[in-house]
Amino acid sequence: MNKLRALILKFKSFRRIQKVVLLAFLLALAFTSVRIVHTATDMVYWHKHQDEPLNNWMTLHYVAHSYHIPPHVLYETLEMPDWPPDRRSLKELSQALDIPLETLKSKLQQAIVYARPPYPRPGPPQRHNRERSR
Amino acid sequence: MTSQILEWFVSYGVTALFFTLLLAAIGIPLPSSLLLIAAGSFIEQGELVLWQVLLFGCTGVILGDQVGYGLGRWGGRRLLQRFAAHLGGEDKLKQSEAFSLRWGGSGIFFSRWLVTPLGPWLNVSSGVTAYPWLHFLLWDILGEIVWVFLYLALGYHFSDRVQYFASLLDNLMGVSIGAAVTVILGWVVLHYFKSTDPA
């Protein structure tokens, strides 16, 4: 307690410029520490959750690429031809297919679950799926 | 906001990249690094073409930097000169011009790709201190090419985890700037407390 009082007294004895510089230094130190903790927790989070959550901007191909599954699985679940590749975002797709965005995401999520272990690896795209687009 | 920008990018491709990078270079807080990482990922997936991304990305950001420089040179400088004339800080202005001429090049180069949040500030301050425009342009082009290539390469390499790497880089940038400021202020604290006695 006495030490704390001594510290406060010492701080009060500083000139104004010294106080300002010291406070700025402490603020910068606090900011950096917070950012370091933030970075570390972020890294731990991503290490535990290997998958990126589905986001409005993602395309079907990006989702397939990110989740390491063949893209035709996603097209099939939305009953869409997988050729030519669809370049629309999930949000645009949900509007075009007239499905609520969240429903579309959960459909994709379900398809992803069944396309990965422990389920067997999906086979090649169904022939009619490509022919439908011709 | 970030998700919205990415949606525009998916819809409008390199045109959206051009405008985002241009506005971000002027100083409007838009997720330009994230967009470049996403562009690298889309190149890897064959959805975008490298030369188009390079052309539109570099042109956008370099043009934006010139706008920032112009604002400093023809707006900020006049304002500063008026203030300096009234308050008598002309010698300080001369000093900062000399400093800018001495260190401006490396500052411009490194703020393009290593400490990117400082970029827009340096554009304006280079204009204010009348750093020679051709030198500015040269360092700017060199630095921005490094930035665009670096972030595209990161996006290309980590193409399946765009959001993760963008967030990680953002955090690391905050840490590096915070650490640099802390070290500088720490040095100033030591300097002030050694050279002057309290009260």
pTM, 2 dp: 0.80
pLDDT bracket for residue A102 (50, 70, 90): very high
Q: What is the pLDDT of residue A65?
A: 93
Distance from CA of A21 to the nearest CA of B (A): 6
Q: What is the pLDDT of residues A10-64, one digit of tens each?
A: 777 777 777 888 889 999 999 999 999 988 988 888 777 778 889 999 999 999 9
The average pLDDT across B96-101 equals 69
Q: Which residues of B touch A88 (CB under 8 A)?
A: 10-11
Q: Which residues of A touch B185 (CB under 8 A)?
A: 21, 24-25, 28
Q: What is the pLDDT of residue A49?
A: 72
Mutate to test the interface with A, among B10, B17, B169, B184 (most CBs of A within 10 A): B10
Going by C-alpha positions, the residue among B63, B75, B194, B162 that lies closest to residue B124 is B75
Distance from CA of B70 to the nearest CA of A (A): 31
Q: Is there a contact between A113 and A69 (Cβ–Cβ < 8 Å)? A: no
Q: Which residues of A touch B175 (CB under 8 A)?
A: 32, 35-36, 39
Query: Where are the alpha helices (H) located in chain A, listed in sequence order?
Result: 2-13, 16-48, 60-66, 71-77, 90-97, 101-115, 127-131
Query: Which candidate from A21, A43, A61 shows the least CB-CB separation from B185?
Result: A21
Sorted by sequence, the CB contacts under 8 Å of residue B183 that are 6+ apart come out as none
Q: CB of B161 within 8 Å of any CB in chain A?
A: yes
The average pLDDT across B105-116 equals 89
- Residue B151 above 80 pLDDT? yes
Q: CB of B176 within 8 Å of any CB in chain A?
A: no
CA B70 to chain centre: 15
Helix (H) or strand (E) holding B129: none
Q: What is the pLDDT of residues B31-57, one digit of tens each?
A: 899 999 999 999 999 999 999 999 999
Distance from CA of A22 to the nearest CA of B (A): 6
pLDDT bracket for residue B148 (50, 70, 90): very high
